[in-house]
């Protein structure tokens, strides 16, 4: 294959792969599911931080 055919095919494959991954995350709501799994650890972390409270 020449470069003029191979480069657009690689670019098309990359864009299609990116679309499939992002659509899967969107369709199954995986970002919010991952956030709900991480929430207890993040809450525990932020509850122990010292804060400067100004009144």
Query: 9-38 pLDDT, tens per residue?
Result: 999 999 999 999 999 999 999 999 999 999
Residue 53 lies inside a defined structural domain of this protein: no
**For residue 30, is it within any domain?**
yes
Q: Is residue 54 situated within a structural domain?
A: no
How far, in Å, CA of 44 to CA of 55, rounded? 25
How many other CB atoms are found less than 10 A from the CB of residue 26? 10
pLDDT of residue 14: 98
Q: Residue 10 domain-assigned?
A: yes
Name the DSSP class of 49: S
Q: In the chain, where do the E strands start and end?
A: none
pLDDT band, very low/low/confident/very high, at 53 (cuts 50, 70, 90) = confident
Answer whether residue 52 is part of any domain.
Answer: no
pLDDT the model gives residue 51: 87
Does 55 fall in a domain?
Answer: no
Number of domains in the chain: 1
What is each CA distance from 8 to 3, 14, 16, 20, 33, in whole angstroms? 9, 10, 12, 18, 35
Extract the tokens encoding 19.
């679309």
22: in domain: yes
Instruction: For the full predicted model, state whether its pTM sits above 0.75.
Output: no
Quote the pLDDT of residue 52: 86
Domain for residue 16, yes or no?
yes
Residue 21 structural domain = 3-47
């Amino acid at each position: 294959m020449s470069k003029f055919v191979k480069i657009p095919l690689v670019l098309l494959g990359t864009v299609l792969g990116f679309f499939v991954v992002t659509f899967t995350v969107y369709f199954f709501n995986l970002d919010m599911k991952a956030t709900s799994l991480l929430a207890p650890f993040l809450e525990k972390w932020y509850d122990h931080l010292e804060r400067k409270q100004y009144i």
